[in-house]
């Protein structure tokens, strides 16, 4: 490897999304959905038929509203979702258990060897799920059927616009980041259609009280839907305003009829509220927006924000041109190759961006077509949220990090209540599940004593710290939250072992248990790493408190290697590992942290690798496979990364929409695989810490050429990386001056970076 400082060579540019390179089309090219040529990766996907299942519907979103589009011009259905739509189920009134008074006695029993003691550390309540996420309704435009010859539907990742059409009929939908509205534009000759807001989606509760309203206006009409949850004062309201070009609009209960029109433009919003909810102001605002802007103007306002974020990072693996031209469903049926990974990388970034705004992605992202969402469609913080947002800093999506920050900072008062009620401590403790409304810990049971888990705040704040490192500035909100996490550990870490080392007691490793003990135990590896990392990170942000916090961190015990040579999931002697499990909580020190790595801690890295080898896949959850891949990438095991990816790519985990499922054979709609996969691909190509750059650490043999453009590092630089069998080139564009340790397959070398001065690294062998 010869690092040089020079003007970087001109590299082939990844083509922008557009009519010649993206089957999703380009703003201003209505209905375009042609196949891609050999010019570069596809920045969209397309299908030859409408979606028969809602899971196959194309997706658009702005981090608040979501649209799930079936793409059938004869029965145009758009399922409307919103991050705030959760159904009251008792969780809205639930509180954390008041257990602090019994904590000391529990600790005494666990330390004395009673490894079932934590089973009684509860207030006896039954399992209470958080409020489940649900769809609002679908806008439905029904027309007399026509010949569907040449039907095509598509989504353009660079604009967020879905298109569908056959003959002269087209339908275009996007969700505006600029105006927070779902926009739909239908065109054709002599359009006749019936428009309704239809709440009758799968699983809709029988007791949902629904009222419809239609008001004719000079432009067209205003349609409203009011829905009150059963046995609750909580409700939500949807408003759709429409304007027609040509033709006429009439009442057709429960909606409206359009006849003889050339075009119909619809704007839709939904709001959750308490009480009746006044739609007057909402309708007025939408009518004003409709009067002031054409569809193209609304799309341009949105695209200016969305495209900028989407195009920051691209991946080209040299996929086959013929495969790049295929519809997504047909590409998924082929033997997985570079073209499929390219499209899933692009789709993953698109869906992650589209689901992030008010909140980060839920288990289902921002979308569902069914009221019966698995695991309540929650934000599950003991793995899923963290895996889905894994790529945010490196993949240049600060929008995702800010969405996560919004969730965290909005719930800190509840996190304080968790710390007080359960542990009698200052500071904060994050819940294992949240619906977005409440951050209180109340979802737990004997088999899943999630209220004992203390590592969540550190894991959730990790991406915010990575973001601060990447941009070179410290967010005062992150600093304040870290101080509260440290305060919790100062109060909680009071018990010691016979050697005077601190003990995390009780301790829980999500969602596993020792082979010879109950779920609540001592010194889970994740808890040890989280406590150590939280204290040391808080010390970095708060120099005045650094000595005290570091001293406390130094008193935590080291990780333990078990009789199999593997990093033990519980560092407490005598606790045996349970290997066949979907979670890899015990390897938190490897990923996302850098506590254990092949460079500074090679012996522990070898033990972590042995633990990874012994880990089973249990129930084949997608998040388990990709979590495995992320850890393997940090441990420089490219073939293990490839195997884990293969389990997902060969397991039929992806719908035609390129949104994913939780289990093989497209079982249970879930965003984990879709959103995590870009993070895996970046980790196998580029890794960074504030002081280290690792290039091509875990590249599988199947992907020996490609280009990753625009990836960000935690030492404040942007990198373009190209590679092929003859070598590799990395162009580094630093925003601040810093010395970094560069690691490649050929060894290590320091590199002095100068802000504003590009550096070119050429690797002759790797």
Is 112 in the same domain as 181? no
Q: 66-108: per-residue pLDDT in tens?
A: 999 999 888 999 999 999 999 999 999 999 999 999 999 999 9
Is 347 domain-assigned?
A: no
- Whether 153 and 47 have beta carbons less than 8 Å apart is answered as yes
Residue with tokens 């699983």: 203
Is 50 in the same domain as 172? yes
Determine the pLDDT at residue 9.
31
| Closest listed residue to residue 632, CA positions, set 645, 621, 648 | 645
Read off the pLDDT of each residue in 390-415 and give the average, rounded to a whole number. Answer: 97
Is 75 in the same domain as 223? yes
3-class state of residue 502 by DSSP: strand
The answer to whether residue 591 scores a pLDDT higher than 70 is yes
Provide the mean pLDDT of the chain.
Answer: 93
**Half-sphere exposure of residue 422: CA atoms within 13 angstroms, side-chain side:** 31
Is 113 in the same domain as 198? no
Determine the pLDDT at residue 765.
62
Element (H, E) at 747: strand 747-753
Is 99 in the same domain as 67? no
> 380 has which bridge partners?
433
Q: What is the CATH number of the domain that holds 109?
A: 1.50.10.10
For the chain, how far is it from start to end, CA to CA, in angstroms? 9
Q: 121-159: per-residue pLDDT in tens?
A: 999 999 999 999 999 999 999 988 777 678 999 999 999
C-alpha to C-alpha distance for 177 and 303, rounded to whole angstroms: 8
Domain-ending residue, one of 559, 579, 603: 559
Is 565 domain-assigned?
A: no
| Closest listed residue to residue 137, CA positions, set 206, 83, 68 | 68
Q: 215-271: per-residue pLDDT in tens?
A: 999 999 999 999 999 999 999 999 999 999 999 999 999 999 999 999 999 999 999
The answer to whether residue 505 scores a pLDDT higher than 80 is yes
Element (H, E) at 197: strand 181-198
Is 473 in the same domain as 553? yes
C-alpha to C-alpha distance for 570 and 521, rounded to whole angstroms: 8
Is 366 domain-assigned?
A: no
At residue 539, φ and ψ (nearest 5 deg) are: -65, -35
Kindly give, in sequence order, each residue whose CB lies less than 8 Å from that of residue 147, ignoring residues fewer than 6 positions away.
166, 167
Is 343 domain-assigned?
A: no
Residue with tokens 């839920």: 362
Two structure tokens written together for 212: 């419809």
Kindly give, in sequence order, each residue whose CB lies less than 8 Å from that of residue 500, ignoring residues fewer than 6 positions away.
555
pTM attached to this predicted model? 0.94
Q: 326-339: per-residue pLDDT in tens?
A: 999 999 999 999 99
How many domains does the structure of the chain reveal?
A: 3
Q: 662-712: per-residue pLDDT in tens?
A: 999 999 999 999 999 999 999 999 999 999 999 999 999 999 999 999 999
Domain-ending residue, one of 276, 297, 316: 316
The answer to whether residue 29 scores a pLDDT higher than 70 is no
Kindly tell me the number of DSSP H helices and DSSP E strands found in the chain: 16, 28
Kindly give, in sequence order, each residue whose CB lies less than 8 Å from that of residue 213, ignoring residues fewer than 6 positions away.
222, 223, 224, 225, 226, 279
Is 328 domain-assigned?
A: no
Two structure tokens written together for 697: 């650490």
Q: 341-387: per-residue pLDDT in tens?
A: 999 999 999 999 999 999 999 999 999 999 999 999 999 999 999 99
CA 684 to chain centre: 19
* Eight-class DSSP state of 554: H
C-alpha to C-alpha distance for 274 and 228, rounded to whole angstroms: 9
Residue 19: Cβ within 10 Å count: 15
Domain around 146: 44-86+135-316
- Whether 607 and 566 have beta carbons less than 8 Å apart is answered as yes
Q: 261-313: per-residue pLDDT in tens?
A: 999 999 999 999 987 777 888 999 999 999 999 999 999 999 999 999 999 99
Read off the pLDDT of each residue in 172-191 and give the average, rounded to a whole number. Answer: 96
Is 413 in the same domain as 479? yes
C-alpha to C-alpha distance for 324 and 15, rounded to whole angstroms: 13
Percent of the chain with pLDDT over 70: 95
The answer to whether residue 567 scores a pLDDT higher than 90 is yes
Q: What is the CATH number of the domain that holds 247?
A: 2.70.98.50
3-class state of residue 61 by DSSP: strand
The answer to whether residue 11 scores a pLDDT higher than 70 is no
C-alpha to C-alpha distance for 597 and 607, rounded to whole angstroms: 11
Is 283 in the same domain as 421? no
C-alpha to C-alpha distance for 106 and 117, rounded to whole angstroms: 6
Residue with tokens 């809205």: 92
DSSP H helical ranges for 156-223: none
- β-strands 686-689, 692-695 pairing: antiparallel
Kindly give, in sequence order, each residue whose CB lies less than 8 Å from that of residue 607, ignoring residues fewer than 6 positions away.
559, 561, 565, 566, 567
Q: 116-125: per-residue pLDDT in tens?
A: 999 999 999 9
Q: In what order do the strands lie in the sheet with 692-695?
A: 686-689, 692-695, 738-744, 747-753
Element (H, E) at 15: none
Q: 413-433: per-residue pLDDT in tens?
A: 999 999 999 999 999 999 999
- Whether 501 and 555 have beta carbons less than 8 Å apart is answered as yes
Is 168 in the same domain as 273? yes
Is 501 domain-assigned?
A: yes
Determine the pLDDT at residue 766.
56
Determine the pLDDT at residue 74.
85
CA distances from 645 to 220, 326, 639, 681 (A): 50, 21, 10, 9
Q: Would you say how long the chain is, in residues?
A: 766
CA distances from 184 to 171, 172, 266, 306 (A): 7, 6, 5, 17
Determine the pLDDT at residue 39.
55
At residue 235, φ and ψ (nearest 5 deg) are: -155, 175
Is 106 in the same domain as 157? no
- Whether 674 and 348 have beta carbons less than 8 Å apart is answered as yes
Is 123 in the same domain as 177? no
C-alpha to C-alpha distance for 419 and 441, rounded to whole angstroms: 10
3-class state of residue 677 by DSSP: helix
Is 427 domain-assigned?
A: yes
Read off the pLDDT of each residue in 543-552 and give the average, rounded to a whole number. Answer: 98
- β-strands 692-695, 738-744 pairing: parallel
**Half-sphere exposure of residue 539: CA atoms within 13 angstroms, side-chain side:** 17
CB-count exposure of residue 655 (10 Å: 0-12, 13-18, 19+): buried
Is 168 in the same domain as 310? yes
- Whether 370 and 135 have beta carbons less than 8 Å apart is answered as yes
Band of pLDDT at residue 19, cut at 50, 70 and 90: very low
| Closest listed residue to residue 118, CA positions, set 434, 440, 445 | 445
Residue with tokens 């709440």: 199
Determine the pLDDT at residue 76.
93
Biggest CA pair distance of the chain:
85
C-alpha to C-alpha distance for 632 and 683, rounded to whole angstroms: 9
Determine the pLDDT at residue 40.
80
Kindly give, in sequence order, each residue whose CB lies less than 8 Å from that of residue 724, ignoring residues fewer than 6 positions away.
704, 705
Domain-ending residue, one of 514, 529, 559: 559
The answer to whether residue 536 scores a pLDDT higher than 80 is yes
The answer to whether residue 524 scores a pLDDT higher than 80 is yes
| Closest listed residue to residue 734, CA positions, set 761, 713, 762 | 713
Kindly give, in sequence order, each residue whose CB lies less than 8 Å from that of residue 584, ignoring residues fewer than 6 positions away.
612, 615, 624, 627, 628, 631
The answer to whether residue 22 scores a pLDDT higher than 50 is no
Is 687 domain-assigned?
A: no
Cα 21–659–316 angle (5° rounding)? 35
Two structure tokens written together for 595: 């506590």
Kindly give, in sequence order, each residue whose CB lies less than 8 Å from that of residue 726, ignoring residues fewer than 6 positions away.
none
CA 491 to chain centre: 32
- Whether 491 and 416 have beta carbons less than 8 Å apart is answered as no
Q: 613-653: per-residue pLDDT in tens?
A: 999 999 999 999 999 999 999 999 999 999 999 999 999 99
Helix axis angle, 602-614 to 622-634, nearest 10° = 160
């Amino acid at each position: 490897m010869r690092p040089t400082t020079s003007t970087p060579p001109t590299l082939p540019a990844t083509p922008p999304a557009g009519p010649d390179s993206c089957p999703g089309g380009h703003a201003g090219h209505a209905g375009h959905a042609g196949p891609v040529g050999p010019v570069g990766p596809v920045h969209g996907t397309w299908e030859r038929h409408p979606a028969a299942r809602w899971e196959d519907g194309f997706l658009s979103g702005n981090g608040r509203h979501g649209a799930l589009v079936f793409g059938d011009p004869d029965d145009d259905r758009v399922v409307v979702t919103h991050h705030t739509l959760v159904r009251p189920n008792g969780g809205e009134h639930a509180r954390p258990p008041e257990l602090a008074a019994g904590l000391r006695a529990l600790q005494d029993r666990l330390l004395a060897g009673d490894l079932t003691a934590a089973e009684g550390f509860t207030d006896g309540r039954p399992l209470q799920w958080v409020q489940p996420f649900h769809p609002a309704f679908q806008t439905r435009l029904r027309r007399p059927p026509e010949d569907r010859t040449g039907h095509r539907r598509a989504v353009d990742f660079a604009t967020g616009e879905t298109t569908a059409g056959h003959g002269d009929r087209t339908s275009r939908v996007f969700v505006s980041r600029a105006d927070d509205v779902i926009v739909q534009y239908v065109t054709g000759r002599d359009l006749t259609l019936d428009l309704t807001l239809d709440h009758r989606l799968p699983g809709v509760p029988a007791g949902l009280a629904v009222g419809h309203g239609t008001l004719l206006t000079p432009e067209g009409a205003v349609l409203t839907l009011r829905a009150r949850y059963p046995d609750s004062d909580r409700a939500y309201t949807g408003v759709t305003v429409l304007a027609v070009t040509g033709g006429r609009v009439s009442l057709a209960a429960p909606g409206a009829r359009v006849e003889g029109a050339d075009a119909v433009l619809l704007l839709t919003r939904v709001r959750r509220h308490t009480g009746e909810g006044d739609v007057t102001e909402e309708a007025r605002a939408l009518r004003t927006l409709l009067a002031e802007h054409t569809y193209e103007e609304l799309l341009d306002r949105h695209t200016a924000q969305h495209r900028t974020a989407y195009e920051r990072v691209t991946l080209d693996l040299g996929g086959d041109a013929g495969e790049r031209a295929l519809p997504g469903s047909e590409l998924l049926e082929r033997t997985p190759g570079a073209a499929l990974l390219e499209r899933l990388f692009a789709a993953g970034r698109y869906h992650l961006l589209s689901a992030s705004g008010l909140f980060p992605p839920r288990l289902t992202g921002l979308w569902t077509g069914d009221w019966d969402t698995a695991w309540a469609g929650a934000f599950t913080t003991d793995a899923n949220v963290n895996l889905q947002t894994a790529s945010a800093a490196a993949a240049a999506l600060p929008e995702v990090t800010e969405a996560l920050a919004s969730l965290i900072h909005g719930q800190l008062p509840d996190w304080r209540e968790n710390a007080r009620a359960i542990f009698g401590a200052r500071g904060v403790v994050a819940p294992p599940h949240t619906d977005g409304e409440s951050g209180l810990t109340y979802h737990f049971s004997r088999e899943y004593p999630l209220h004992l888990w203390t590592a969540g705040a550190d894991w959730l704040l990790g991406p915010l710290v990575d973001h601060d490192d990447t941009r070179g500035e410290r967010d005062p909100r992150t600093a304040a939250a870290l101080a509260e996490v440290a305060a919790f550990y100062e109060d909680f870490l009071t018990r010691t072992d016979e050697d005077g080392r601190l003990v995390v007691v009780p301790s829980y490793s999500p969602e596993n248990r020792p082979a010879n003990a109950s779920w609540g135990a001592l010194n889970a590896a994740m808890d040890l790493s989280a406590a150590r990392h939280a204290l040391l990170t808080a010390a970095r942000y708060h120099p005045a408190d650094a000595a005290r916090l570091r001293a406390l961190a130094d008193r935590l015990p080291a990780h333990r290697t078990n009789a199999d040579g593997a990093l033990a999931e519980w560092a407490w002697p005598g606790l045996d590992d349970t290997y066949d499990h979907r979670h890899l909580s015990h390897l938190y020190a490897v990923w996302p942290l850098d506590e254990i790595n092949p460079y500074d801690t090679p012996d522990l890295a070898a033990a972590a690798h042995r633990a990874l080898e012994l880990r089973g896949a249990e129930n084949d959850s997608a998040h388990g496979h990709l979590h495995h891949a992320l850890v393997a990438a940090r441990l420089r095991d490219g073939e293990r990364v490839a195997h884990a990816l293969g389990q997902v790519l060969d397991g039929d985990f992806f719908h035609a929409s390129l949104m994913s499922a939780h289990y093989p054979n497209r079982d249970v709609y879930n965003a984990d695989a879709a959103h995590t996969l870009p993070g895996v691909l970046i980790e196998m190509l580029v890794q960074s810490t504030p002081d280290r750059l690792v290039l091509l650490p875990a590249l599988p043999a199947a992907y020996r050429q490609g280009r990753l453009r625009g990836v960000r590092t935690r030492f404040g630089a942007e990198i373009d990386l190209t590679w092929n069998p003859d070598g590799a080139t990395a162009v580094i564009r630093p925003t601040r001056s810093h010395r970094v340790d560069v690691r490649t397959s050929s060894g290590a070398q320091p590199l002095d970076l100068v802000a504003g001065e590009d550096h070119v690294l050429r690797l002759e062998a790797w």
